[in-house]
Amino acid sequence: MTLKERDKKHLWHPLTQHKIHPEALPIVKAKGAILFGEDGKEYIDGIASWYTAMFGHCNDFILNKVQEQMQQLDQIVFAGFTHEPAIRLSEELIKILPDNQQKIFFSDNGSTANEVGIKMALQYHFNKGEKRNTIIAFEDGFHGDTFGAMSASGLSVYNGPFEDFFIDVKRIATPNSENIDSVLEQLQQIIKNNKVAAFIYEPLVQGANAMHMFEAKYLDQILRICKEHSVITIADEVMTGFGKTGSYFASDHLQEKPDIISMSKALTAGFVPMAVTSCTQNIYNAFLDDSVGKAFFHAHTYSANPIACSASLAAIELLKTEEIQNNIQRVIASHKNFNDKIKNHPKIKTTRQKGVIYALDLNIKMDRYGKKRYEIFNHFINKGVFLRPLGNTVYIQAPYAVTQEQLEKIYDSIIDLLDFV
């Protein structure tokens, strides 16, 4: 039996309606930007496997570091124990995070990183004797699939059956030149009429919302108002972190730095799952007390797993190299050239770019997970390219390690698509 056939027997895939889409594409190996299929075909990973494998799959440098760590220390309880990979990672993260970040808390994935951030913010106020129970979030943001993170997510396509069980979230639109005054007014009203604990946001690029982008200067205005009212600001950098926007973090493009930052995905370069929630000294201090009850009672078994920390340390080392920084600049320039070539095509409605993230909207109406979307997905697969359209948006977020030839192949597959849609 093939992997494809065996898969169907016991496996239940995420974001999949198995009645309509019973088949998954088996991948047997990956190297650099290439995925090798069971079918003998090669696919360029145009989205770095959900923006994780930014240094290329099975990167030799990271692989060696992880192997060394595996022989030294595999796992240890992080409550009451500590270890060098976690200590060193905290030091390295603090060096590249915005200046106000001082403390590092570990969890397992992007959703839990946000869950931790939300809980930290709620308990921060609680510990200070204030009961604040409302969170503000952007419309159509995405923060993950656990309950707190899901509550903050505005994309109803994921939320439908659970909405009655959510924590209290009020939404504001993402800002632009036309709506900024009304967004700020609405924000002030929400703060006035509720006990707002925190504002959670994806800085500058909303990933799952079809790579929707907005300007730093407007987000700064929002953050300023939050800070004036002691509303804790949580930057969800799960997607944007570690170089995607052209700087280490999207928050680097802003004047106002967040109180809390959640990160995952490229943190461990696609090797193993791990997440970090960082925060300021001020947040941390609110949990210090003679009473145990004021401590942060949140833990995951694999918190700060040494192997995951070693992958992350290697990834950060690579991120800082001239080679990777040059690659990032090459990809940014290359997307710009491609955009100049195609932006006026009649089948394209709009295009946008932030750092290595490039997106275009097709000039057609489409459901997010409808038939047409699958036809487009299959078009790319047939061309040997893995791109995962979000509704009528096609986006690229290839590994920094992608070669120019591979990038051109991705662009060609998009140009071909414009003839076919």
Q: Where do the H-state alpha helices sit in 268-403?
A: 281-285, 306-319, 322-342, 371-382
Measured over the CA atoms of residue 373, residue 379, residue 380 and residue 381, the dihedral's sign is positive
* Burial zone of 68 (CB within 10 Å; 0-12 exposed, 13-18 middle, 19+ buried): exposed
Of positions 107, 127, 264, 280, contacts ligand PLP by CB under 6 A: 264
Q: By Cβ distance, which residue is nearest to ligand PLP?
A: 110
φ, ψ (nearest 5 deg) of residue 281: -60, -35
- Pick the stretch among 71-79, 109-117, 155-163, 410-418 that binds ligand PLP (CB under 6 A): 109-117
Cα–Cα distance list, 59 to 66, 69, 97, 182, 384 (Å)? 11, 15, 24, 47, 21
Contacting ligand PLP within 159-218 (CB under 6 A): 202, 207-208
# binding residues, ligand PLP (CB under 6 A): 15
Q: Which is nearer to ligand PLP, 175 or 207 (CB)?
A: 207
Q: Could you say whether residue 140 binds ligand PLP (CB under 6 A)?
A: no
Least Å from the CB of residue 111 to ligand PLP: 3
According to DSSP, the β-strands at 103-107 and 275-279 are: antiparallel
Strand pairing partners for 217?
A: none
**Given phi > 0 = left and psi -120 to 50 = alpha, else beta, which region is 204?**
left
Q: Does 397 bind ligand PLP (CB under 6 A)?
A: no
Instruction: Cite the beta strand spans of 34-112 per DSSP E.
Output: 34-37, 42-45, 103-107
**Cβ closest to ligand PLP, residue 261 vs residue 410:** 261
Measuring CA to CA, which residue among 279, 121, 119 is closest to residue 199? 121
Which of 85, 110 has the CB closer to ligand PLP?
110
CB-based contact 328:353 (threshold 8 Å): no
Binds ligand PLP (CB under 6 A): choice among 69, 90, 107, 111: 111
Of the candidate residues 34, 48, 172, 239, the single one contacting ligand PLP (CB under 6 A) = 239
User: In terms of CB distance, is 124 or 142 closer to ligand PLP?
Assistant: 142
Least distance (Å) from ligand PLP to the CB of residue 109? 4
* Residue 299, helix vs strand vs coil: coil
- d(CA 157, CA 64) in angstroms, rounded, equals 41
User: Binding to ligand PLP by residue 37, rule CB under 6 A?
Assistant: no
Q: Which residue, 205 or 283, is less far from ligand PLP as judged by CB? A: 205
**Position 148 contacts ligand PLP (CB under 6 A):** no
249 contacts ligand PLP (rule: CB under 6 A): no
The minimum distance between CB 246 and ligand PLP, in angstroms, equals 17
Nearer to ligand PLP, 162 or 371 (CB): 162
Of the listed pieces 85-93, 141-149, 242-250, 289-297, which binds ligand PLP according to CB under 6 A?
141-149
Residue closer to ligand PLP by CB (options 278, 334) is: 278
> Could you say whether residue 236 binds ligand PLP (CB under 6 A)?
yes
The answer to whether 198 touches 233, Cβ cutoff 8 Å, is: yes
Pairing relation of β-strands 196-201 and 134-138? parallel
Q: Which residues bind ligand PLP (CB under 6 A)?
A: 50, 109-111, 114, 142-144, 202, 207-208, 236, 238-239, 264
